[in-house]
Structure 1
Amino acid sequence: MDEKAKSETIRQLNDRFRMSGPVSGDWLVTAGVQSLGKAAVVLAIQMTTQFDAFTPDDDPYGEHDFGSFTLARHKLYWKIDYYDLRLKFGSPNPANEQVTRRVMTILLASEY
């Protein structure tokens, strides 16, 4: 698979994972985001699942693995990391969901 096709496959897998929300796998919300309250956490998850403001600056490879938005005057980031199935090492191939476990993290920009 060439790099363009690999990035396209990763993008599709990332979009499906992100848009499905926490029921689709491993989602983490940092202590900083949790400190904003339960309603803010719910809204942050919703904003992440609906995110579509990708730009070449924050998505240079077109893989839809990072985004940012503002919630109640707080800058938040979300990012997808790729691990092996046991969460011990990085995935050997993020384009292959048979060997990849995706982890979504939503965090305050100040926690990055």
Structure 2
Amino acid sequence: MMATLAPSITRIVELNDRCRMGLDHSARIVATRDCLATIAKGDRSIDLVIAQARLLKAVRNFRFAADDRTEHDFGALDLDGERIFFKIDYYDAALEYGSEDPADASITTRVLTIMLARDY
């Protein structure tokens, strides 16, 4: 699949997959409060931590179709009967503006947001 995409898209896919897998140390990964509260099995702090870990695991285990030609910047999955979306956005290093070139990791900070589908 990668060989058929433009080089910049191929690079964006690689960087997005690294972000999703937790391998991009400059990336920010956030889950919405509603998503965490819905997945949590209780209202204790530890319940929210466990919910966060389960969400991260689900996103990291998500597999795009072999013939997927997107930037791997959006996915949908089910967890505990809830439809979960994740989305990667591209910002400049200061997180003030959109990145001028998402294929260039030196000028781009990725933000992965995990949310309930109904909140999208």
Q: Could you say which TM-score interval applies, normalised by the shorter chain?
A: 0.7 to 0.9
Which residues of 2 match residues 23-62 of structure 1 at below 5 A? 25-36=27-38, 37=40, 38=48, 39-54=50-65, 61-62=69-70
Structure 1 gaps, min length 5 = none
**Once the 2 structures are TM-superposed, how far is the Cα of residue 55 of structure 1 from its aligned partner?**
7.4
Which residues of 2 match residues 51-90 of structure 1 at below 5 A? 51-54=62-65, 61-90=69-98
Task: Report what 1:101 is aligned to.
Answer: 109
**TM, length-normalised to structure 1:** 0.85
Confirm or deny: 8 A CA contact 2:29 2:113 kept in the other structure.
yes
In structure 2, the CA distance between the partners of 1:14 and 1:109, relative to structure 1 (3 Å rule), is: same
Runs of 4+ off more than 3 Å: 21-24, 53-56
- CA RMSD, Structure 1 to Structure 2 (Å): 2.1
Q: Deviations over 1:18-46 (max 9, x none)?
A: 11268663111001111121233221110
Alignment identity in percent?
35
- Opposite residue 50 of structure 1, the aligned amino acid is N
Residue 20 of structure 1: which of 19, 22, 25 is its match? Answer: 22
Task: Report what 1:8 is aligned to.
Answer: 10
Structure 2 gaps, min length 5 = 41-47
Aligned length: 107
Q: Deviations over 1:49-87 (max 9, x none)?
A: 12113477xx6x421111110011110000100000111
C-alpha distance in 1, partners of 2:16/2:58?
Answer: 15
Confirm or deny: 8 A CA contact 1:21 1:45 kept in the other structure.
no
- Structure (1 or 2) with the larger CA radius of gyration: 2
What SS class does the counterpart of residue 35 from structure 1 fall into?
helix
